[in-house]
Chains A and B, each alone.
Chain A
Amino acid sequence: MTSEHMVHSANQIALFFASYPHEEAVAGVTDHLRKFWERRMQEQIKQYVAQGGGGLHELAREAVKRLD
């Protein structure tokens, strides 16, 4: 998956949960990534965040940090 596509997908998820209180929203994004993103995709976004996570919605960035 291209980084651009990955960031866009993660931000879409974040925008849905952004309507909720911060903690609930971060938990929602984390749960979604964990339940629906395959291992390689999770690894890719974790690496991306480790390298700065440019362009990622703040909720997505926080959520990724909570992935195992």
Chain B
Amino acid sequence: MALMHEIDFGTPLPIAGTFVTLEIDGKKVTVPVGTSIMRAAVNAGVQVPKLCATDNLEAFGSCRLCLVEIEGRPGTPASCTTPVATGMKVRTQSAKLARMRRGMMELYISDHPLDCLTCAANGNCELQDMAGVVGLRAVRYGYDGENHFKNAEKDESNPYFTFDPGKCILCSRCVRACEEVQGTFALTIDGRGFASKVSAGGEQFLDSECVSCGACVQACPTATLIEKTVIAQGQGEHSIVTTCAYCGVGCSFKAEMQGEEVVRMLPYKDGKANHGHSCVKGRFAWGYTTHRDRILKPMVRAKITDPWREVTWHEAISYAASEFKRIQAKYGPDSVGGITSSRCTNEETFLVQKMVRAAFGNNNVDTCARVCHSPTGYGLKNTLGTSAGTQDFDSVEAADVIMIIGANPTDAHPVFASQMKRRLREGARLIVLDPRRIDLVKSPHVKADYHLPLLPGTNVAMINALAHVVVTEGLVKEDFVKERCDLVAFEQWRKFIAEERNSPEAMEHITGVPAADVRAAARLYATGGNSAIYYGLGVTEHSQGSTMVMGMANLAMATGNFGRRGVGVNPLRGQNNVQGSCDMGSFPHEFSGYRHVSEDAVREVFEEAWHVALRGDPGLRISNMFDAAIDGTFKALYIQGEDLVQSDPNTQHVAAALGAMECIVVQDLFLNESASFAHVFLPGSSFLEKDGTFTNAERRISRVRKAIAPMAGLADWEITMKLSEALGYPMNYSHPSEIMAEIARLTPTFAGVTYEKIDELGSVQWPCNDKAPEGTPIMHVNGFVRGKGRFLITEFVPTDERSTERFPLILTTGRILTQYNVGAQTSRTANGVWHNEDVLDIHPFDAENRGIRDGELVSLASREGEITLPARISERMQPGVVYTTFHHAMTGANVVTTEFSDWATSCPEYKVTAVQVRPAKHQSAWQEHYRETRRQTTQILGEPSPTNLPRT
């Protein structure tokens, strides 16, 4: 397999309209109107020399290498900036053009170091290529004049790439990539004339506004901006296209390899979720895959206070299986269960739930989606008929009004945020509903029309107020509702929502948002054209998370915003395979494809395929498992790729539950926090070590392709298979494609999915079946999946988590750009230079009242527990609300969060915890206890010290 070089067409593909035919070097070519001559030439099989052009950036016309001659026109126009015309006859080669190009190259090379043989870009440098293409043989100007490279200072501040201004040719591709692709505007050309230089705002890259997305590095035609791994290792010799294992955007990457070693991850241009863009995590933060903390041998121990003992796979699997059998024999068949992972592949997730249902013989299976987007599934299924977002990402390009609710895309879904920002720069209007002033409220060339800074816990009051305006001001799309929705349910809802108590004025004292702003935002959403809602965990992680999802669906139905590009209700999924893990039947009440276990006909299909009798009653959710463990009726748990202790709320309750169990089997890359309570550790495999598929937030199923062999010997699906076999229920798959074939046979929405189809199309969005053989980018086009859209009444019910004199502030938690969830991956990369500890964001007013100064240690206490962490005074917060992340185990953010949860799905209410904040002098008792016990519970026999102490 060779290193994959993608074709660079030089300029972007224009939106297809009418076509024109022209002639280039005697070859006829037909292209869309608006295509550049340069791009048309590539289509005709003709390469025009270029340096400043690349096809993910608008034409710039500065390098003057791509000059051409056009019959009947004077001069030599740049082919990148000159659009095609019917009948045009273009000549890309002539003696005159060759002379001019060589002249340009002489100027470039006269100010460029001639160190090609030792340059990291050697063999992959466009300047070098063009010197060859134009036939440069000499530089008349010599190299002794004033230049930019002899005293150039290299900026090595960024952990992942270097900036060597001495090699810069000022093509502006990096600056334009930062603007057009990423939308951060961190780079500029500083100075004029000979003094011109690329600048990160006059600062080192690390200190600048740069978000390290890598777009500038990718755009650079020379070694000016280049990955440190390429400098250290050289260039890859083959590449493999795979899917990122971080957020729910699901970016496609080319893993460039030297043998079994990754050299760099480059975003794949044909990736339909990311179109060749990336963020700092997917692009650079993959070093965790080979981090020294990886556990590569299975381990067991009788008690969690014992040191771990390394054993063979056979011994570990046999021990785990015998413990599950012993416990079931002693405590009953329902005393064990399993947790699937949203970080693992669809195939692996499917196998875990299959093993629980078929081998354990119960439905005690759940997934980490429980604690993030379970309300999305419940709310959308009950209103629209399917548990998934309605659009593809590209749909945002047709949105006229974008409403972001409880999401921070620039941090949590950065690649989609860039696409969204592009649309906003084109003129789409923006409404933000968030207690915090997230970046999108005001950032370069983006400004929200309305920021409604509602108080945490008041989402439903706000969505009802917005809908009230729509209903009472005559803004309902009556035709749409009449044709597409259940009218009885609609009238019931209309009557409810029109009640004065739901008006913005009545809700103002609850939400804290001026009624006039709410009215204006509602009018804009209802009348602004195509309106699209994008939301995140700020919607779902509430006691009324499911109600809020229904409320958004109600609002979008009432305004006719479903079934076409530019509209819809779109969950931004947190992890790479949250959608997939839900699709695969990870919840205790349903099989793959969201079909309840009590449906006899469905169950029979699975029983026939799996040759085993299946239970028709729902199993335990994660939180129910904890309660049952404390009650003494739930005793053993198999956890694949999930860290319950760090990510679930009320850590001390979780620890008590896990501590009460007799056998916990953790399958993971690292000794995570849950492993402190485990008796068997099965070393898992990273996304680079296995085949499979991930399904992203837009229902897009993409291939994960094995780049290296599993470091511990087995891929996760193979481990589950071995465990199942030891339990007495053998599974016989020789490759994940066979698992997908079974998923397709058993799941109507996946009926047409095969690895061959994914390879052919690049990716495919479910439903993919006879009705939609190539998948479904946009759902509910001709009608809702459930038939008629169903309005549901969404009464606002305040959370029982109340602020009081003792706990007067409200804490919300979330994540930031450079770290990812519990930090298992990102904390083992250089991303720590940006964020090496969790901090508490607090408004200056609240800080001053408490005598808190920026950077000082503070105590954060709730009714559940207390931790300490540094304070960061920030006007991004509103008074009364504080915020922190949960990326670092030592912080223990979930020590303070509560067990209050969504009424329908038990999704924890992470976004509302009543707290008090005070200056502190030392770490909390919990943190001191944690440090001591963690050391003990991670000890491996024969090793001098624990391999995985928390990073402080």
Query: Which A residues lie at the B interface, using CB under 8 A?
Result: 1-2, 5, 8-9, 12-13, 15-16, 18-20, 32, 34-41
Contacts and interface: CB of A to CB of B under 8 A. Distances in A.
A7 B483 CA distance: 41
6 contacts: A1-B627, A9-B906, A19-B496, A38-B334, A38-B588, A38-B617
Contacts of A20: 492, 793
Contacts of A1: 624, 627-628, 631
A9 B900 CA distance: 9
Contacts of B689: none
A16 B795 contact: yes
In the A-B complex, the 8 residue pairs with the smallest Cβ-Cβ separation, listed nearest first, are A12-B903, A19-B793, A1-B627, A38-B620, A19-B795, A15-B797, A13-B903, A39-B617
A39 B334 contact: yes
Given A1-B631, A5-B899, A40-B628, 4 more contacts: A1-B627, A2-B627, A13-B903, A35-B589
Q: Which of B492, B588, B618, B631 is the most central at the interface, judged by chain A CB atoms within 10 Å of its CB?
A: B618
A5 B952 CA distance: 35
A38 B627 contact: no
Given A5-B627, A35-B589, A38-B619, A16 B334 contact: no
Contacts of A36: 589, 618, 621, 904
B543 interface: yes
Interface string B780-808: 00000000000001010100100000000
B624 A41 contact: yes
Contacts of B543: 12
B598 interface: yes
Interface string B626-653: 0110010100000000000000000000
B797 A37 contact: no
Q: Chain B binding site: helix, strand, loop or mixed by DSSP? A: loop
Contacts of B797: 12, 15-16
B564 interface: no
Contacts of B309: none
B334 A40 contact: yes
Contacts of A39: 334, 617
Interface of B: 334, 364, 492, 496, 543, 547, 588-589, 596, 598, 617-621, 624, 627-628, 631, 633, 793, 795, 797, 800, 899, 901, 903-904, 906
A38 B904 contact: no
Nearest to B905: A36
Contacts of B633: 40
A6 B620 CA distance: 14
Nearest to A6: B627
Contact of B618 (A2, A5, A8, A35): A35
Given A35-B618, A38-B619, A38-B620, A15 B899 contact: no
Nearest to B634: A40
Contacts of A16: 547, 795, 797, 903-904
Contacts of B628: 1, 40
Contact of B903 (A5, A15, A34, A41): A15
A37 B800 contact: no
Q: Which of A9, A16, A35 is the most central at the interface, judged by chain B CB atoms within 10 Å of its CB?
A: A16
Contacts of B793: 19-20
Contact of A15 (B334, B598, B795): B795
Contacts of B598: 34-35
A50 B598 CA distance: 26
B399 to A, nearest CB: 31
B623 to A, nearest CB: 9
A19 B492 CA distance: 10
A25 to B, nearest CB: 10
A39 B618 CA distance: 7
A57 to B, nearest CB: 11
A37 B621 CA distance: 9
A8 B902 CA distance: 11
B676 to A, nearest CB: 24
A13 B901 CA distance: 11
Contacts of B906: 9
A49 to B, nearest CB: 19
A2 B899 CA distance: 12
A40 B628 CA distance: 9
B904 A32 contact: yes
B903 A38 contact: no
A5 B628 CA distance: 12
B304 to A, nearest CB: 24
B460 to A, nearest CB: 10
B167 to A, nearest CB: 61
B445 to A, nearest CB: 42
A20 B364 CA distance: 32
A45 to B, nearest CB: 12
A39 B333 CA distance: 12
A24 B879 CA distance: 42
A21 B122 CA distance: 75
Contacts of B627: 1-2, 5
Q: Which of A2, A5, A38 is the most central at the interface, judged by chain B CB atoms within 10 Å of its CB?
A: A38
B161 to A, nearest CB: 49
A35 B633 CA distance: 21
Contacts of B901: 9
Given A16-B904, A19-B496, A40-B633, A35 B596 contact: yes
A41 B619 CA distance: 10
A32 B546 CA distance: 13
Contacts of A12: 543, 797, 903
B202 to A, nearest CB: 54
Contact of B624 (A2, A15, A18, A38): A38
Contacts of B334: 38-40
Contact of B795 (A8, A9, A13, A18): A18
Contacts of A5: 627, 899
A40 B364 CA distance: 12
Contacts of A8: 800
Contacts of B624: 1, 38, 41
Contact of B904 (A13, A19, A34): A13
Contact of A37 (B618, B631, B795, B899): B618
Contacts of A41: 624
A15 B589 CA distance: 22
A66 to B, nearest CB: 15
A14 B628 CA distance: 23
Nearest to B550: A16
A1 B623 CA distance: 9
A19 to B, nearest CB: 4
Nearest to B793: A19
A39 B363 CA distance: 11
A34 B628 CA distance: 18
A12 B800 CA distance: 10
Contacts of A37: 618
